[in-house]
Structure 1
């Protein structure tokens, strides 16, 4: 199931595993390339498990339309509720050790449907992206099928297949 709004989109999928297992996969940056539905996410630079609000984890990325092809995202955890929700703000490292965020976010919401089944909703929200960035990047940069693909990949990963 997809929902597309003016400045966000989401997809929902039910997976036959406990919410704790789903959350553990999402909180492990090493799994993010396997979950990604676009092929842009490459490898975790910071492989430590995600564990708290404000934590920053970096991911190596690739996009053919990026000026360098390969690039690195610095993601800041803005939602962290074990077994319920996790989300991050993608950004970039800037000079002087500062992080700059573009205004879009990723969020996974988990609803246990029993001891071994979880409804997962993935939301991509670009409502806070300023016009200066929208002039250079089209939003959303992918169709809603990316979210469904990501949720299917997540389900396969946590089911062990």
Structure 2
């Protein structure tokens, strides 16, 4: 069985705390989104923590919609993951290399979808997610290094 996760990593010349502050602010998600699907934060706290819910304005193929997400994994300055009504998760892991450098890994984990995961594969989502993650990481890197 194929791994039902898509992950990419990048090294960012910024401390984990600065990167985590960007990731946990849902109002900044549109700035880093490499999929061109996130339009902005409609509702949510200033800073995400365990169990936080936030609603995003989204668009796919020019069709607007809204998505509510909930933080399901949280370790301050190290890991955050959220999911919407579907079972898959978007996870961010931060590994400090030193005080000023962090290895950031973003993962789209669709393994909780069980037998329905084959639908993601058939629809080509793993490849699309990989391209979006690569662009997101580049945008996050530029933003974190500029602050």
Same fold, judged at TM 0.5 (above): yes
Q: Does 1:103 align with 2:87?
A: yes
Q: Deviations over 1:74-116 (max 9, x none)?
A: 00001111110011012xxxxxxxxxx2111100000011111
TM-score, normalization by structure 1:
0.80
CA 1:60 to 1:11, structure 2 compared with 1: closer, same or farther past 3 Å? same
Match of 1:63? 60
Pick the aligned partner of 1:134 from 115, 119, 144: 119
| 1:54 equivalenced with 2:40 (yes/no) | no
Paired residue secondary structure (1:25): helix
User: What is the aligned partner in structure 1 of residue 77 from structure 2?
Assistant: 83
The CA deviation at 1:38 is 1.1
* Alpha-carbon contact 1:51-1:80 (below 8 Å) kept: no
CA distance in 2, matches of 1:85, 1:57: 17
Unpaired runs of at least 5, structure 1: 91-100
Aligned length: 143
**Cα 1:30/1:51, change in 2 over 3 Å:** closer
Pairing partner for 1:124 from 101, 105, 108: 108
More helix per residue: 1 or 2?
A: 2
| The one of 15, 26, 33 aligned to 1:36 | 33
What 5-or-longer segments of structure 2 have no aligned partner?
none
RMSD of equivalent CA atoms: 2.2
CA contact (8 A) 1:126 1:140 kept: no
Cα contact 2:4–2:117 (8 A) shared by 1? no
